[in-house]
């Protein structure tokens, strides 16, 4: 259980840092963000575990909603 909590905490920190960096780098254009996130996370979406793929998809959705 602590492994999942630890993983969740690390994902949350990475998510926050990436959101800030992407917003600064690409502005708030939804299309630009979506394209760049998809390219950035493509290796994970293509080759990651099911959990990593779900996390990447959730990250994209959360970033675009933000």
- Please tell me the pTM assigned to this model: 0.52
For residue 44, count other CB atoms closer than 10 A to its CB: 15
Predicted pLDDT of residue 41: 84
CA distance 11 to 56: 10
Instruction: Return the closest-CA partner of residue 12 out of 45, 58, 49.
Output: 58
Residue 20 scores a pLDDT above 70: yes
Give the three-class secondary structure for 49: coil
- When pLDDT is averaged across residues 18-28 and rounded to a whole number, the result is 72
CA distance 14 to 18: 6
Give the three-class secondary structure for 30: helix
- When pLDDT is averaged across residues 47-53 and rounded to a whole number, the result is 88
Q: Average pLDDT over the chain, rounded to whole?
A: 78
- When pLDDT is averaged across residues 6-26 and rounded to a whole number, the result is 77
């Amino acid at each position: 259980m602590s492994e999942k909590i630890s993983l969740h905490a690390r994902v949350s920190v990475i998510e926050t840092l990436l959101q800030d960096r992407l917003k600064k780098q690409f502005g708030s254009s939804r299309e630009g963000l979506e394209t760049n996130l998809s390219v950035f996370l493509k290796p994970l979406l293509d080759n990651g575990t099911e959990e990593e793929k779900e996390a990447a998809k959730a990250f994209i959705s959360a970033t675009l909603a933000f």
